[in-house]
Chains A and B, each alone.
Chain A
Amino acid sequence: MNMIINHSSMQPVYEQIVCQIKGKIIKGELIEETLLPSVRTLAKEIKVSALTVKKAYDQLEAEGFVITVHGKGSYVASANQAQLLEEKKKEVETEFEQAIRKARSCGMEDSEIRALFEIVLEDS
Chain B
Amino acid sequence: MQTMIRLDNVVKQYDKFRLDCSLQVPEGRVTGLIGRNGAGKSTAFKTMLGLIEIEGGTVKVFGKAAKNLTAKDREQIGVVLADSGFSGYLRIKDLMPVLDTLYTDFSREQFMAGCERMELPINKKIREFSTGMKRKLQILAALSHNARLLILDEPTAGLDVVARDELLNLLREYMETEGRSILISSHISSDLEGICDDVYLIENGRMLLHEDTDVLLNEYGLLKVTFEQFAMLDQRYLLRKKKESFGYSCLTNKRQFYQDNFPSVVIERGDIDKVILMLTTSGE
Contacts and interface: CB of A to CB of B under 8 A. Distances in A.
A in complex with B: yes
Interface of A: 10, 12-14, 38, 40-41, 43-44, 47-52, 55
Contacts of B214: 12-14, 48-49, 51-52, 55
Interface stretch (B83-91, B191-199, B224-232): B191-199
Contacts of B197: 49-52
Given A12-B218, A47-B168, 6 more contacts: A38-B176, A44-B172, A48-B214, A49-B194, A52-B213, A55-B214
A13 B172 CA distance: 18
Given A14-B214, A50-B30, A51-B214, A43 B172 contact: yes
Contacts of A12: 214, 217-218
Contact of A51 (B169, B172, B198, B269): B198
Contact of B30 (A14, A41, A47, A49): A49
B176 A41 contact: yes
A12 B215 CA distance: 9
* Chain B: interface size category: 20 to 34
Contacts of B115: none
Contact of B212 (A40, A43, A51): A51
B173 interface: yes
B175 interface: yes
A51 to B, nearest CB: 4
Contacts of B169: 44
Contacts of A41: 176
Given A49-B196, A49-B197, A50-B197, A44 B173 contact: yes
Interface string B186-205: 00000000111110000000
